[in-house]
Every structure is written in structure tokens, then in C-alpha cells.
Structure 1
Amino acid sequence: MLILLPPSESKTGRTRGRPVDPDRLSFPQLTDTRRAVAAAVATVSAHPDAADVLGVSPNLTREIARNTTLRTAPSSPASQVYSGVLFDALDHGSLDGAAKRRANRWLVVVSALYGAVRPTDAIAPYRLSMAVNLPGVGPLASAWKPELSEVLPEAAGRGLVVDCRSSTYAAAWTPQGPLADRWVQVRVPGATHMAKHTRGLVARHLCEVGRDVRKVPQLVDVLTDAFEVSLTPPPRAGRPWVLDATARA
């Protein structure tokens, strides 16, 4: 199983520690693009118009400045760096040993800076969205799409692709061919905050239950104890199944 997550906007860093070693991250095929994006965002972030280019508030001067030190900033496991609503609900650190091992195999965060990372990958906090058109690189979703198309199908193997990404990050990779038949988009009704929280709970539940199901309808059986779920088949070839999920009270 491959469970795709978006990154959080909020990120937590350390004051001490080793910097990121790009050669030690998962998916080494992405190393060259990671280096290019990191260099480009560092350059942009040193300019007065950085907030406009990055599409963030000018008040986020500290986070923008942090982009200029990506090569030397202390790194932490991605499961600790990403700290938003979804990741609070996932609560990777509190998983038991077996569930955590599954999470480390199944979970992949799609990132504008790193392309794709697993929970154990040591990364630095950054401020960069997949929606950015980055000078020197171009639109990031377009830049990452061919790269992710090489590595994510292999990560999925014969299992399902459970897609918890937002539309901004879904633009960076779309499952193709037979893999699209095993692609499930998790949709949550209601406000964005609740949607993120529920997707985090879904990812956690799948890792805790540990059933690596191979057929999409079986996913309903795995989730039904903890969620109200309904499954809608794809409207046409190449589109995902849609799983509507609401956490049970």
C-alpha cells in the first residue's frame, strides 16, 4: 500500500543537529532535482520580493529566511518536521512498533522541496508550496511530475494508492495505466481543518490495522469500524475511486 500525504505548512525544526544529506533520503532518483529546487528557493528567498514569488505573507520573514540556510540547517525526521493538523491526527510518534514500521513503509509525503519523502527521512523545515512557479525551475508541480512518475509507481507495487493529498499536491503526480485502477482519493466533507484531521486519522488507522488490501472495495471493510464511509467508482478510466470518510463519534 502507498498512502500519499500532503506536507503541512507549519513545520518544526531543531536548533542543533546534522544538516540534510540528500544522498541519504528515500528515492535517490530525485536527488538532482532536490538540489536544484533547494538552490533556487534559497536564491529567491534572499531577495526583497521573496514573499510575492513564494505566495506567502510578508510577515513570514523568519520562515522565508529559513529557506536560505537549507544546506546547513539541522535536520529531523519528516514525521517530526511536519506538524500541522493532519500530522497531529496521524501522531506517528505514538504508533506501536508494528504500526510504525508499516507507516514508515507505506506513508509518503509529497513535497515541493524534496519531491517525496518517507517519515524517517531527515529533512530541514522550509516554506515552499507546490503551487509556486520557482525562478530557475518553473512550476513545481510540472517539474516534479516526471520525477515522481518514475518512483511512486514502484513504491506502490501491487497495492492500493490511498491518496490523502490536497489538489495542489495531487497535481504533481497522477497514477497511470493499471495503477489508476487501484487509486483511491480520500474525500472528507466539511471544513478544510476537519478534512485534514480526518485524513490523518485514516492514515493512522490503516497503519494500525495493517491489512495490505489489494482491491479497492476491501478498503471499506478496513475502515468501517472507525469511519462512516462510502465508495464511488471512477467515472471513467484513469480517474480515481472516491472514498468519502467521516470519523465516527
Structure 2
Amino acid sequence: MLVLLPPSETKAVGGDGGPLDLSALSHPELNPTRGKLIEALTSLAGDVPASLAALGLSERQVDEVRRNAELRDAPTAPALERYTGVLYDALDVGSLSPAERKQADTRLAVASALFGLALGTDSIPAYRLSGGSTLPGLGTLRALWRPVLEPLFADSSQLVVDLRSGAYAALARIPHAVAVRVLSEDASGKRKVVSHHNKAHKGRLARALARTSAEPESVEDVVEVAEAAGMRVEREGARGICVVVAG
């Protein structure tokens, strides 16, 4: 099973690992695109106003440009420890047992705008690049990533549980993935899409899937794991599930 997490704009700084080594990352077939994006991002960082414009940042976020300038030499950290925010707070990898963390490192992957796919064990630096960004001379990230990411998923027989947000789902279409959405339900039974807290519930689901000792192989298995973790889950068609929370 592979659980695809969305990345976060916020990232932990620093790290105990050495500089980025593309050859040490999983899925080496993605390295040509990774290298192209790293080159473009570090070059762009030499022009701060252009970087702010391309990345959709304000002048108060100039430190994000500095991070990009230092991409090749900055310290690295495992991907599951690099990203922060609501989803990663709920996932809380730091509290997993050693056995659970080992499962999380192989079962969970971050759909990254810069690295395409980063497994939990992949050591990466802090950076700033969003799924909807367009870098000068390279065009959209969707046009760059789809030709390399979609064949990777098409060739895999793994069950894929897709927790990505829209901009990152656009980087690779995965028709066979288990799609997950979160809805809130009020006392009258009326439902609506959950926005901010959507991330927390997806983080809880990712944590449950990382911790289970059995290897989920079907949509039914994912539903069982979620329900065992105290979540209310409903099937949606052949390949979808809905997490229902009190609104």
C-alpha cells in the first residue's frame, strides 16, 4: 500500500542529514525532472523579486527565497519530519513506535512539487515550491510531472490511497487510486465539505494506515482500518471513501 500525502507550505528548518543527494532518493527515474527543477529554482532565487512573483510570495517571505538558494547545500531531514502543519500534526510520526515508524516510512509518501514523490525515508531540505507554480522557462509543474509520475503509478500493483489536495492531484492522475474526501454532518443530517479540518482527518487516516499491522490491499481493508481507529467512513462507488465528521 502507498498512501499519498499532500505536502505543506510550512516546513521544519534544519535537519541532521547532509546535503541533498538525489542518487540516494527513492524512485531514481524521477531524478532528471528533480534536477531540472532544482536548477531552475536555485537560479531563480538569484532574482528575489522574480522569485517572489513566481512563487506567489510577499516581501515578508523573502526567507523562503533564501531557502531555495541554499537547496543544494542545506541540511536534510526525512520527508515525514520535514513537512509541518495540521495534517502532519495529526499524523504525529514522532509518537509512533519503531515498528510503526518503519511501516510509515514505506507506506506513506509525500506528493512533492519539487521531488515528485518522497518516501518517508527520503532525506530532503526545506524549500518553497507549490503545485500550482509556474517557473520561468519550464512552464507548469503539471506538464513537467505528468509524463514521469503517471507511468510510475500505472506500472505499480500497489494499493494507492490518495489524500492529495487538488493542485498536487493534478501533477499525476491515478485512476485506480482510492479517493478520499471529508464531509461534516450537522444534527439535521446536512453535509458539507470540510475545509481546514479536512487536513486533520486525513492525517488521522494516514496515521491509522501507517500503524496497522496488516497490509491493506483493498478499499474494504482501508475502511476497516479507519473504523477500527474510531472514524466514521462510508464507501463512495468502486474506488472512493468518505470520512464523515460531526459538524
TM-score, length of structure 1 as denominator length: 0.88
RMSD, aligned α-carbons: 1.9
One-letter code of the match for 2:140? P
User: Share of identical aligned residues, percent?
Assistant: 38
Correspondences of 1:96-135 after superposition (within 5 Å): 96-135=97-136
What whole-Å deviation, never above 9, does each CA across 1:204-247 have from its counterpart, x for those lacking one? 0011123323222332222113101111105xxxxxx3211146
* Bigger mean CA deviation after superposition, 210-219 or 92-101: 210-219
Q: Find the aligned partners of 1:121 and 1:145 in 2 and give their Cα distance.
A: 21
Q: Find the aligned partners of 2:15 and 2:236 in 1 and give their Cα distance.
A: 46
2:216 alignment counterpart: 213
Q: Find the aligned partners of 2:24 and 2:46 in 1 and give their Cα distance.
A: 27
**1:41 and 2:35 matched:** no
Structure 2 residues not aligned, in runs of 5+ = 184-192
2:74 alignment counterpart: 73
Correspondences of 1:217-232 after superposition (within 5 Å): 217-225=220-228, 226-232=230-236
Change beyond 3 A, Cα 1:15–1:205:
closer
Cα shift at 1:130: 1.2
Correspondences of 1:54-65 after superposition (within 5 Å): 54-65=55-66
Q: Find the aligned partners of 1:92 and 1:102 in 2 and give their Cα distance.
A: 11
Runs of 4+ residues deviating >6 angstroms: none
Structure 1 contact 45–65 (Cα < 8 Å) conserved:
yes
TM-score, length of structure 2 as denominator length: 0.89
1:90 alignment counterpart: 91
* Bigger mean CA deviation after superposition, 41-50 or 196-205: 41-50
Structure 1 residues not aligned, in runs of 5+ = 235-240
What whole-Å deviation, never above 9, does each CA across 1:5-35 have from its counterpart, x for those lacking one? 1111100121775111011011111111111
Change beyond 3 A, Cα 1:170–1:77:
same
Structure 2 contact 15–76 (Cα < 8 Å) conserved:
no
One-letter code of the match for 2:99? A
User: How many residue pairs were aligned?
Assistant: 236
Structure 1 contact 186–245 (Cα < 8 Å) conserved:
yes
Structure 1 contact 198–246 (Cα < 8 Å) conserved:
no
Q: Find the aligned partners of 1:243 and 1:58 in 2 and give their Cα distance.
A: 41
**1:184 and 2:187 matched:** no
**1:194 and 2:197 matched:** yes
2:7 alignment counterpart: 7
